[in-house]
Amino acid sequence: MAKPYSPEIRASAKRLFLRGFTMEEIRAELRLPNVRQIYDWRKQEGWDALAPTSGVEEVVSRRICVLADRENKSKTEQAELDMLLKRLEALAVPLAKARRIDRAPLDAPLPDEGEADEAEAKPKRRQNGQGKREKKVKNDVSGITAEQLAAVREKLFFSYQLEWHARRYDPETRRTRFILKSRQIGATYYFAWEAFENAVLTGDNQIFLSSSRDQAEVFKAYIIAFAQAHFGVELKGSPAITLSNGAELRFVSTNASTAASYHGHLYVDEIFWIPNFRKVWDQASGMASHKKWTRTLFSVPSAISHPAYELWSGEHFNKAKAKKDQAEFDISHAGLKAGKKGADRFWRQIVTIEDAAAAGCDLFDLEQLQDENGGRAGDAFRNKYLCHFIDDSKSAFNLALLLACGVDPGEWKDFNPKAARPFGNRPVAIGYDPSRTGDNASVVVLAVPLKPADPWRVLERIDMRKVSYESQARRIKEFLKRYNVVHIGVDVSGEGRGVWPYLQDLPQAMPMTYNLNFKADLVTKALDVVQPPPRLQFDAKDKDITAAFLMIHTTTTPGTNQITYHSARTNALGHADVAWAIMHALIYEPINAAGNSTRVAFS
């Protein structure tokens, strides 16, 4: 009989797997005799279900961080790392400018640079008196000059990003920059560069505070890519990268207690989506208490009820002051488009997608984005791309409660999205919500609770645009091959009538015709499951779900003044389709089911 391995060995193997190591790499790292045992542990303990489901950028970043930290890389590993570094740079929005200016490969010399300059951009190898090479210095940035950094910076970034750089070194604005931004305009990419540049030039520590480990590793991977692609410097280090000049680059999550003892220039991303913000900010801002350190906050807006909004609006600054001593803060787009320093000494700026386009960022089809998000006046487009906060003062849902529903899907040990049967034979409910205009629809798959206290979990979601009714029905039916579907909630009040004939023969399908009472039941059920402790869970990175629920408002009917619920899904102002789709699945369970047994018979 084979000798059993200790729990410590198994735990180490799992940690390496979750960091992105292959099976053979885990075997070699732990010096195990064969890889078969690791595959057995992977199956027995459901490691695949624990692996985070991420976007391409995060998957690539995670693997880059693994390979970069590895000593004595093989030729195959080095080739893989080089390929991933180039792929990550290709994913970055700001490189569109670089491609327009210079069509040469990413590792080619900058325009107008001679061979001597190119050689100078790579770290020089020192020699001793006998002409022998000295031992290579780890993370050696001593050969990178300010002139080289400036040349790369001017090549890579748009004018709005260069404005952020100027504010970083202006004594009047350097201390705290607070940037409200559109999605996908390259903020993470730029601030990773800025921190790397400053660390090289000054030896100062840099701290990145992110809402998740995956996002923190995106920062790290970008910095590794900058050093390798433009200066030929290989960076490594875990959990922090320490440069040859002593600068530490740390990448931490919003579990601020793990970072309370660090100090340096602080970067906080997606600040308006951080749960328990007050606690996080009180602890994290202490890392940049000394006057030499800077603080940079940047985020897509969430809702005005988020605690960070008080910081943005100036209310936090005025709160403890007499009325005569309070300052006025202009936080309109017109007032902050060019950036402005407030009475609280925060430099604020708003950069919309239209601002980015005007600055040369031509990667977006604005008309298409408007069409996909309910038009330029739509709540969804305004929130994602025009930097408008959702006014949830009349919302039926509470932002803090919704943020508490956000989780890391890697914690779901019984779910493996890569498997043929991702959830085994456990029951799921499907919710389908059509668009009011006929060109967009949302479908979600939710895990049905087996016990009254178990949570509903959003396992999958898809959005369909300009797809025929038959094709939409076919996509829904495809889930039947992968899941044990016990319920399909279909809105047949409007566009859904075109899909229903293709689904009506399914025993799980339930037609839903909207009226005041039914709409109230849907919202009441959803309110029930988000109350603490929440019984609804979804990927914390999926901000669209939170935003969609916030767009559902309490209102009254004309004339009768009956309480009802309204969202922009019924007109040209936007949509909350994914929220209604989730509610169409949730309604399978009775209201207040936590006090009753579920209707599900599972075997």
How far apart are alpha carbons 352 and 212 in whole angstroms? Answer: 24
How far apart are alpha carbons 393 and 303 in whole angstroms? Answer: 9
Rounded to an integer, the average pLDDT of 426-431 is 97
| pLDDT tens for each residue of 93-146 | 555 454 444 333 333 333 333 333 333 344 444 444 455 555 678 899 999 999
Q: Does residue 363 carry a pLDDT above 80?
A: no
Q: Does residue 78 carry a pLDDT above 60?
A: yes
Helix axes 516-530, 577-586, angle to 10 degrees: 90
How far apart are alpha carbons 374 and 544 in whole angstroms? Answer: 14
| pLDDT tens for each residue of 179-196 | 999 998 999 999 999 999
Among left, alpha and beta (phi > 0; psi -120 to 50; other), residue 356 is alpha
Produce one character per residue of 468-501: b if its CB has 16 or more CB atoms within 10 Å, e if not: ebeebbeebeebeebbebbbbbbbbbebbebbbe
For residue 465, the model assigns a pLDDT of 77
For the chain, how long is the longest CA-to-CA vector?
96
Q: Does residue 408 carry a pLDDT above 70?
A: yes
| pLDDT tens for each residue of 481-497 | 999 999 999 999 877 88
Q: Does residue 474 carry a pLDDT above 80?
A: yes
Q: Judge contact between 299 and 327, C-beta under 8 A.
A: no
Q: Does residue 249 carry a pLDDT above 80?
A: yes
Pick from 4-18, 507-521, 559-573: least confident: 559-573
Q: Does residue 372 carry a pLDDT above 70?
A: yes
For residue 67, the model assigns a pLDDT of 78
What's the gap between Cα 418 and its chain centre?
21
Pick from 91-95, 123-127, 235-239, 347-351: least confident: 123-127
For tokens 């748009």, name the residue.
Answer: 158
How far apart are alpha carbons 9 and 128 in whole angstroms? Answer: 44
For residue 379, the model assigns a pLDDT of 78
Q: Does residue 72 carry a pLDDT above 50?
A: yes
CA distances from 271 to 312, 339, 602 (A): 10, 18, 41
- DSSP per-residue letters across 440-472: EEEEEEEEPPSSTTSPEEEEEEEEEES--HHHH
- Using DSSP's 3-state secondary structure scheme, residue 253 falls into strand
Pick from 93-102, 175-184, 433-442, 527-536: least confident: 93-102
Phi, psi of 484 (to 5 degrees): -90, 90
CA distances from 402 to 74, 100, 214, 271, 525 (A): 46, 42, 21, 16, 14
Phi, psi of 56 (to 5 degrees): -60, -45
Superfamily for 71-111+148-298+331-358? P-loop containing nucleotide triphosphate hydrolases (3.40.50.300)
Q: Judge contact between 303 and 245, C-beta under 8 A.
A: no
| pLDDT tens for each residue of 561-603 | 666 777 754 333 345 789 999 999 999 998 876 654 333 332 2
For residue 20, the model assigns a pLDDT of 60
For residue 555, the model assigns a pLDDT of 73
In three-state form (DSSP H/G/I as H, E/B as E, the rest C), the secondary structure along 179-230 is: EEECCCCCHHHHHHHHHHHHHHHHCCCEEEEECCHHHHHHHHHHHHHHHHHH
Q: What end-to-end distance do the CA atoms of the chain give, in Å?
A: 35
Tell me whether the omega of the peptide bond preceding residue 239 falls within 30 degrees of 0, making it cis.
Answer: yes
Nearest alpha-carbon partner for 357 in 158, 177, 63 = 158
Mean residue pLDDT of the chain comes to 83
How far apart are alpha carbons 462 and 432 in whole angstroms? Answer: 10
Q: Judge contact between 186 and 165, C-beta under 8 A.
A: no
For residue 500, the model assigns a pLDDT of 93
| CATH number of 392-595, picked from 3.30.420.240, 2.40.30.30, 3.90.1580.10, 3.40.50.150 | 3.30.420.240
